[in-house]
Structure 1
Amino acid sequence: MAAIRPSEATASWWRDAAIYQIYVRSFADGDGDGTGDLAGVRARLPHLVELGVDALWFTPWYLSPLADGGYDVADYRAIDPAFGHLAEAEKLIAEARELGIRTIIDIVPNHVSDRHSWFRAALGAAPGSPERDLFHFRPGRGEHGEIPPNDWVSEFGGTPWTRLDDGQWYLHLFAPEQPDLNWAHPAVRQEHEDVLRFWFERGVAGVRIDSAALLAKDPALPDFTAGVDPHPYTDRDELHDIYRSWRAIADEYDGIFVGEVWLPDSERFARYLRPDELHTAFNFTFLACPWDAGRLRSAIDDTLAEHAPVGAPATWVLCNHDVTRTVTRYGRRETGFDFAAKVFGTPTDLELGTRRARAAALLSLALPGAVYLYQGEELGLPEADIPQERIQDPMHLRSGGVDPGRDGCRVPLPWSAGEPFAGFGSASEPWLPQPASWPSYAADVQSTDPGSMLTLYREALRLRRGTPGFAAGPGETAGGRLNWLPSSPGVLAFARTHGLICVVNLSGSPVPLPGHTEILLTSGPLDEVGLLPGDTAAWLRS
């Protein structure tokens, strides 16, 4: 992979980039203490170069008590000591850039940690003080203020209000350790703009915005009434002024934004992608879609249609640090994803799920736009069963132990089959336990196996980067387009530019390939007469 040339700094690399998500705590342990760190990432950069990705997205690596996996930030200008230090982050950004890989960091603007200096000061100040104005402090309802100020529900379940000894309540849409900031306060806006500049000046190429549609709240903090607009805390119009001011900063540094925007209304979703706001947003419709040809085709069509009016490229995601891993999800009776449907002990056919995940990899990598790959997906890792006493995710704890939580997709990666803890780190047991099967998924084992998931991803990303047809064609300013081809029921087939064809067979029977001159890649072998088996995908040249 060639290093990034200065002349490419302003190129629209992000429109069709392959971006790899790193959950630092579980990627690689450089100092052997059982926790992944930046030294581990730096040591594994050759793996990422050989994989063929264009950028790395790091989930929060800042100083944090880790009450919610780092999404409770205590200091945006400091690296958590468990991961390293600021100078090491700067070195990692520079080293990756020299290898042709850009860096995207995570910003969590809706809330901070309860250990953040602002919130500590607010706790030490009196009700009505300027320190408390940076958050949402309110008196309770009821005769003695014993009832929360409104009826909102936390994203983690239960009330999003916690009462202090002085009688006031503070708002936290997530865990109590994550107090929500008051985005109507100018100091909150100024601080985040300063943080953006801080990291852009250290060489990051982009910023992922966590919970991007939740920042602004109705000042009255009224009860929620279904069907009444505007929503008191989701997708409020005030947000767009915030992101326009952010975009102006990003443009100074040729930086980009990707928003975590969960919205059912496609027109409202597209507003965030207007030319003076965010560059891209995550595509949760595709991520949550079940393994069904009709549903997937609709998800693809809807995604491209909602991006087209604003000229923004789509993003394609199969899995992330919050979602059941792909091979497990596709091996279940219900193959879609819904947080509310997660339960312990769900039966899974991993062989079936792996076959489908391989086909889904070729499908997502062939679609026009950018693609995100979560660490371990290239190894075909399944969701891990974590002993309940070892689960750390607050979603599990807040559910009263009903929800398995998200730790099953966050288990430390296996690198070397013959080393302690599968090569994640040799001195101490990892912070989450690895399943006994983990060594069989190790990167060193898969590197020499032509039929492995790792080999498939490497070859697919190599072809995607260097083969005409994957990137946008002339005039395709929204990251390219596709044309659906006639196909049998249960089969998806589409053409891109330069004769590139992708066909995915989701039916239960083998089907003939469309007319072609060359088979570029298949997710599994064709049958003995050259038909494409079920749950298999192929890239062709016509």
Structure 2
Amino acid sequence: MSRPHWWQSAVLYQIYPWSFQDSGNDGIGDLRGIKARLDYLVELGIDAIWLSPIFLSPMADFGYDVADYRGIDPRFGTLADFDSLLAAAHTRGLKLLLDFVPNHSSDQHPWFIESRASRANPKRDWYIWRDPAVDGGPPNNWISDFGGPAWTLDPSTGQYYYHAFLKEQPDLNWRNPEVRAAMLDVLRFWFARGVDGFRIDVLWHIVKHAAFPDNPPNPDWHPGMGAMHQVLQHHSTDQPEVHDIAADMRVIADAFGREGDDRVLIGEIYLPVERLMRYYGLQGEGVHLPFNFQLIDAPWHARQLARMIAEYEAALPVGGWPNWVLGNHDRPRSASKRGQAQARVAAMLLLTLRGTPTLYYGDELGMENGVIPPERVRDPRELREPGLGLGRDPVRTPMPWDDSPQAGFTLGESWLPLNADWPRRNVAAQWDDPASMLSLHRALLQLRRATPALTLGSLHIVEAEGDVLAYRREHDGEHLLIALNLGHQAAPFALPPGSPLLSTLPGPLPDGVPPILRPDEGLIWKVDRLT
């Protein structure tokens, strides 16, 4: 292949700023706190950090309701604090990505305040306004992703405005060229400031069908799925025009890039693989990495995973680079889904598949979903549809750094409760423990960085049986075999002549060529020769 882009061999690390490190002792993480922990990230072995939103916001949805796309929310610091963080990251060789929220703003954004002032306001068409239906109700049957109607009536002007999420998050009208120009200028502003890329929030949402027809009902819906799934989002998401917008964003990113120091765009897109691939663009003019979330919900079954990996690889367009994710700020943590033993195997899977992996803060410790008492629930998703397990607070609890009060995260009271096992599941406790999840991640990241076959090599699924998932990684004469036992019993597996490089199990590596994988073991094996 031609000279790789930095993001092809990189490991990304998502930070939820509320929960990483508090420097002001108000219980909320901030930019100075993140800066104070950069050396940890360097020693961990990651290459780039992605910050969930830090822009000025009323925090109806914790930053995903932006009131000023060019300003830092005072909870997190100042623009000077951001510049200082960016410079400190770059000095350490770390890239920094921001979270761009283009689908909607806050209802407190000056644009929306103008838009709702009157039907004649010049910014009226910057948002999506429609007359009521004949019966006076919402214009169509679209449902908010947070449950309930996606339309809110504005009594003063007699029209409804559309919001795919909270009513405090009105959707921007990307069919308006002025909106398009203004939002693309936001990208230019931050690129000019030196950021290395963006994760683009709900990219597949940002254009809606021009005629606003009803969405069809979901024949498979049941109440446990949440209200948003009562209809299929055929007309409210994934419209053809979105790809032209993604192409415009790509032009801007490419214009700010330089040889060996290009900018990257990562799109949040929850779609089936065949539709996901369109976001690379027909000629590579889309986003660089449409997020691949399949591992988050994939059944933990070796044959199904092997088929999923092969089908994803086969679907990639020419020049398309793969990527993988185990968890994020919206989805259950890996260790809660799979248990601690298999979370170690999952970590090896994430960091040895072909493509760019993204780690979610705390997963390197084996953090599990936190327990949030009813009186401390903060997430509007949970508050709107309680009891369905859709709340996101459990995966946003503070990072535990040590066993001091508040786990070294703050000297105040943390905004969410700490994980229950923080006195032993924290960075300080795991750092020097060779058997810890953190030590496993450090070893995986060190091996990945030192081994071109793991960063840039080809991938070939290896036939296996039972609970074993196996694949080869190959590059420039270097051959590795990754064998993962997804079960809790020993599993037979014939390894070729070679030697072990790393096991997910602590203790001595296998001596010779073992005929089995131990229970809950993942193994990276250096192959002497291919037969």
How high is the TM-score relative to the length of structure 2? 0.90
SS at match of 1:218: coil
Which residue, out of 250, 255, 261, partners 1:252? 255
Which residue, out of 366, 374, 393, partners 1:388? 374
CA pair 230-486 structure 1, distance change in 2 beyond 3 A: closer
Corresponding residue number in structure 2 for 1:235:
238
Residues 238-317 of structure 1 aligned to structure 2 (within 5 Å):
238-254=241-257, 255-264=263-272, 266-274=273-281, 275-307=284-316, 309-317=317-325
Q: Note the C-alpha offset of 1:508.
A: 4.2
Letter in 1 for 2:109: H
Letter in 2 for 1:250: A
SS at match of 1:492: strand
Which residue, out of 128, 137, 144, partners 1:154? 144
Q: Note the C-alpha offset of 1:272.
A: 1.0
Residues 109-508 of structure 1 aligned to structure 2 (within 5 Å):
109-123=102-116, 125-143=117-135, 145=136, 147-166=137-156, 167-225=158-216, 231-254=234-257, 255-264=263-272, 266-274=273-281, 275-307=284-316, 309-330=317-338, 353-417=339-403, 419-426=404-411, 428-472=412-456, 480-497=457-474, 498-508=478-488
Q: Is the CA contact (8 Å cut-off) linking 1:230 and 1:236 kept in structure 2?
A: no
Determine the C-alpha separation between the residues in 2 that align with 1:230 and 1:435: 35
Q: Note the C-alpha offset of 1:486.
A: 3.2
Determine the C-alpha separation between the residues in 2 that align with 1:33 and 1:260: 31
Letter in 2 for 1:151: N
Determine the C-alpha separation between the residues in 1 that align with 2:165 and 2:463: 46
Q: Note the C-alpha offset of 1:281.
A: 1.1
Determine the C-alpha separation between the residues in 2 that align with 1:235 and 1:257: 18
Q: Note the C-alpha offset of 1:489.
A: 2.0
Determine the C-alpha separation between the residues in 1 that align with 2:75 and 2:233: 41
- Matched positions, count: 497
CA pair 295-46 structure 1, distance change in 2 beyond 3 A: same
Deviations 1:64-90 (A, max 9, x none): 111112111111111110001111111
Letter in 1 for 2:175: A
Q: Note the C-alpha offset of 1:226.
A: 5.6
Q: Note the C-alpha offset of 1:481.
A: 2.3
* Percentage of identical aligned residues: 44
Which stretch of structure 1 is more off in the superposition, 489-498 or 10-19?
10-19
Deviations 1:436-458 (A, max 9, x none): 42121110111111111111101
Deviations 1:21-64 (A, max 9, x none): 00000001111110000011000001100010010011111011
Q: Is the CA contact (8 Å cut-off) linking 1:56 and 1:104 kept in structure 2?
A: yes
Letter in 1 for 2:405: P
Q: Note the C-alpha offset of 1:289.
A: 0.5
Q: Note the C-alpha offset of 1:297.
A: 1.1
SS at match of 1:515: coil
Q: Note the C-alpha offset of 1:178.
A: 0.4
Q: Which runs of 5+ in 2 are unaligned?
A: 219-230, 258-262
Determine the C-alpha separation between the residues in 1 that align with 2:24 and 2:494: 50
CA pair 58-137 structure 1, distance change in 2 beyond 3 A: same
Determine the C-alpha separation between the residues in 2 that align with 1:52 and 1:513: 32
Residues 68-83 of structure 1 aligned to structure 2 (within 5 Å):
68-83=61-76
Determine the C-alpha separation between the residues in 2 that align with 1:289 and 1:382: 18
Correspondence 1:524 to 2:496? no
Q: Which runs of 5+ in 1 are unaligned?
A: 1-9, 331-352, 473-479
Which residue, out of 22, 25, 39, partners 2:15? 22
Q: Note the C-alpha offset of 1:528.
A: 9.1
How high is the TM-score relative to the length of structure 1? 0.88
Corresponding residue number in structure 1 for 2:226:
none
Letter in 1 for 2:139: P
CA pair 253-150 structure 1, distance change in 2 beyond 3 A: same
Determine the C-alpha separation between the residues in 2 that align with 1:282 and 1:109: 16
Q: Is the CA contact (8 Å cut-off) linking 1:516 and 1:540 kept in structure 2?
A: no
Letter in 1 for 2:406: F
SS at match of 1:91: helix
SS at match of 1:438: coil
SS at match of 2:454: coil
Deviations 1:479-517 (A, max 9, x none): x42112232322111111111111001234313461242
SS at match of 1:105: strand
Q: Note the C-alpha offset of 1:142.
A: 3.7
Letter in 2 for 1:518: S
Deviations 1:151-173 (A, max 9, x none): 01111111111112223211101
Determine the C-alpha separation between the residues in 2 that align with 1:399 and 1:140: 26
Determine the C-alpha separation between the residues in 1 that align with 2:22 and 2:523: 36
Correspondence 1:101 to 2:94? yes
Q: Note the C-alpha offset of 1:293.
A: 0.6
Q: Is the CA contact (8 Å cut-off) linking 2:12 and 2:357 kept in structure 1?
A: yes
Q: Is the CA contact (8 Å cut-off) linking 2:215 and 2:232 kept in structure 1?
A: no
Letter in 2 for 1:391: V
Q: Is the CA contact (8 Å cut-off) linking 1:150 and 1:223 kept in structure 2?
A: yes
Which stretch of structure 1 is more off in the superposition, 390-399 or 481-490?
481-490
CA pair 405-416 structure 1, distance change in 2 beyond 3 A: same
